[in-house]
Amino acid sequence: LAKTTQPISMDSYEGQEVNITCSHNNIATNDYITWYQQFPSQGPRFIIQGYKTKVTNEVASLFIPADRKSSTLSLPRVSLSDTAVYYCLVGDYNQGGKLIFGQGTELSVKP
């Protein structure tokens, strides 16, 4: 399973756009990239998933360059409620679906 590397923490202010980059140099051909959000004492919540280029949904965008060795989660106009830990995971969901969580990025949004 490809290992992921993310910044340990990030600070932002309300209304700003936040970009969290994840490195996954050993990503395999069949691997997808998934981002989860976790609040304290809660289970992770699915944010977005992609394979290449750009994916956008109602809460975030995911940018994946052509070499797929990194990905960037973009959160537009964050609010205080976006303060959480964000995990980037890489996995081949057709091979048992195992997800190995890295350290995650603790995002702190300030007023």
Gyration radius of the chain's alpha carbons: 13
Report the nearest approach of other proteins to the CB of residue 103 (Å). Answer: 5
Residue 102 engages other proteins in binding (rule: CB under 8 A): yes
Report the nearest approach of other proteins to the CB of residue 66 (Å). Answer: 21
State how far the Cα of 107 lies from the Cα of 86, in Å rounded to an integer.
Answer: 7
Report the nearest approach of other proteins to the CB of residue 104 (Å). Answer: 6
* Residue from 10, 21, 32, 55 in contact with other proteins (CB under 8 A): 32
**Torsion of Cα atoms, 12 then 27 then 5 then 101, to 10°:** 90
Q: Which of 96, 99, 69, 73 is nearest to 85 (CA)?
A: 73
Residues at the site binding other proteins, with contacts judged by CB under 8 A: 32, 34, 36, 41-46, 49, 87, 93-94, 96-104
